[in-house]
Amino acid sequence: MKIATICNYKTTYLCNIEQFQGFKVAFQGGQVLGFVLVGLALLVLEILILSYKAALAPENATDVEHLFEFISGYGLGGSTVALFGRVGGGIYTKAADVGADLAGKVDASLPEDSPKNPGTIADNVGDNVGDIAGMGADLFGSLAEATCAALVVSSTSDAMVNTPDAIYFPLIISAIGIIASFICQFFAYIETRSVEFTLKIQLWVSTVLMSAMIIPAIFVLPENGIGIEFAGTMYNASNWECYVCIIMGLWSGLAIGLITEYYTSKENRPTQELAEACQHGGAPNIINGLALGYLSCVIPIFCLAITVLVAFSYAAMYGVALAALGMLGCLPIALTIDGYGPISDNAGGIAEMSNL
């Protein structure tokens, strides 16, 4: 959040010189959020595993299962932080944003981020609190929970426990995601027709790269299948079936992102129709906005349902956990894009307040 705050005014300054330079600084500020969060999450989890392994000295499969059950507290801690960061920070953000709009744009007819509106400061602070710190805490909790879930489930499989590297497969997926996202971020410095198109390229390239880079990693899994038991049924998924679970989550995440972009971008008809509804008053705008929000959830729900169905049919709950890790695989670059948003938003607010 401190880096994002610094990038706010640097972006404002550079955009007055050259717009692309301002974009680069805002994007790099988002990279701090993405790569530091995933890197620290992976590093701390690995340190915890090694520390517990040295302290407990597991001798059999039951001891290994207990070890990873203890490690699952890491995900619970992440969720606790997310509760305060995301929920508390998000409420602060929306309260400040809506309050500034009501007091400024509605009551006083002031433009967006006007220096005459003291609520603008609260709006900009709220972006840092909710969209940087809060969103980071939320996705840290999601990554920690998904990784711990995969570790706990894999520890119930004798085939996984008896294969030295296989049980660490969930950590390998996150590590590959960091590498794929690092390679992908170089594409952001190629000037294109619009910033929106550049960011969309990031999502496509990172997904394709990770899809290819995961293939060598699946061979750390047991050759004869992972052997996960659930509700009395044994699911003996092969390496490639585990790969399909990851890919289903990875590409479902991309599809959900693209659908969200379609329904929220000003370049597309849904948002344009919502804007046209404002000409007839506040009621049609609210009704159409709610309907649009509900409609935008339909395809993501189908994506999630199909992903869970396919993943579970292959590897039971371990397949679902792998799909979740696949969906979070490109988290560094996704968080980079998410962090870019509030940084550039606040840079615009600073420009407005400075009468630039």
Which pLDDT tens digit goes with each residue over 196-206? 888 889 999 99
With a cut of 60, say whether residue 351 has pLDDT above it: yes
What's the domain count of the chain? 1
Residue of 81 and 34 predicted with greater confidence: 34
What is the arithmetic mean of pLDDT over 215-237?
A: 87
What is the arithmetic mean of pLDDT over 152-160?
A: 88
The full 3-state SS of the chain, as one line of letters, equals CHHHHHHHHHHHHHHCCCHHHHHHHHHHHHHHHHHHHHHHHHHHHHHHHHHHHHHHCCCCHHHHHHHHHHHCHHHHHHHHHHHHHHHHHHHHHHHHHHHHHHHHHHHCCCCCCCCCCCHHHHHHHHHHHHHHHHHHHHHHHHHHHHHHHHHHHHCCCHHHHCCCCHHHHHHHHHHHHHHHHHHHHHHHHCCCCCHHHHHHHHHHHHHHHHHHHHHHHHHHCCCCCCCEEECCEEECCCHHHHHHHHHHHHHHHHHHHHHHHHHHCCCCHHHHHHHHHHHHCHHHHHHHHHHHHHHCCHHHHHHHHHHHHHHHHHHHHHHHHHHHHHHCCCHHHHHHHHHHHHHHHHHHHHHHHCCC
What is the arithmetic mean of pLDDT over 228-233?
A: 85
Instruction: Kindly indicate the confidence band of residue 356, based on its pLDDT and cuts at 50, 70 and 90.
Output: low
| pLDDT digits 0-9 by tens, 254-295 | 999 899 989 988 888 999 999 888 888 778 888 999 999 999
Residue span of the structural domain in which 309 resides: 2-353
- pTM of structure: 0.88
What is the arithmetic mean of pLDDT over 123-131?
A: 81
